[in-house]
Amino acid sequence: MTGIKRFKTGSKYEERNSYSRAVRVGQWVLMANTAGRDQRTGVLSTDPVEQARTAVANVEHGLVGAGSSLNEVVRLIARIPNPANVRPVMDAVGAAFRGIDPAMTIVCTPLASLDYAVELEATAFHGAESDEHAMIAPQTPVAGGVENE
């Protein structure tokens, strides 16, 4: 039987909304949506890029607390409410995950506060035995089609 372990940071939001920052089920670590608020000071920068960097640091802190790391992230969902912020936010997120290259989804959607420029949700698999990168053959282009980004 696989045990479940829940990890909290002591955040008032975790208590108020009854959730865990991370949940570990066997080798899987699932992170809650994580904003770019500095966990030590409570400060939320107004700069979307700074929020992105802080959100990555908060995700990393939660993963390490659950016995994992950024290097073990296999899936990342970035929620960015303002489409104009996608490129600068994802440049910062992409820099942090370069070489890790998780499967990623980027969604423009409202968040829990109008002050949030980004929230990240990560899934990690602890102790994967190999880290191999491979190329998928490109699809045959369709005349007039749009390239994948």
- pLDDT attached to residue 129: 57
Query: Taking the model in full, what pTM does it have?
Result: 0.87
Q: What is the pLDDT of residues 115-148, one digit of tens each?
A: 999 999 999 999 875 667 788 888 877 776 655 5
Going from N- to C-terminal start, the domains of the chain cover 4-125
Which position has the higher pLDDT, 142 or 92? 92
* Total Cβ atoms within 10 A of residue 25: 12
Q: Are 27 and 69 in contact (CB under 8 A)?
A: no
Distance between CA atoms of residues 99 and 133, nearest Å = 9
Q: What is the pLDDT of residues 47-83, one digit of tens each?
A: 999 999 999 999 999 999 999 999 999 999 999 999 9
Class of domain 4-125: alpha beta
Within 33-148, residue ranges assigned H as helices are 48-65, 86-97
- pLDDT attached to residue 149: 57
Dihedral of the alpha carbons of 19, 97, 68, 57, in degrees to the nearest 10: -60
- pLDDT attached to residue 12: 86
Q: Which two tokens stand for residue 124?
A: 């990690």
Average pLDDT estimate for 32-55: 96
Dihedral of the alpha carbons of 89, 52, 76, 115, in degrees to the nearest 10: -90
CA within 13 Å, CB half, 7: 18
Give the H/E segment covering residue 14. Answer: helix 12-17
- pLDDT attached to residue 36: 96
Within the chain, residue ranges assigned H as helices are 12-17, 48-65, 86-97
Q: Which two tokens stand for residue 120?
A: 């990240």
Average pLDDT estimate for 3-23: 92
Mean pLDDT across the chain: 92
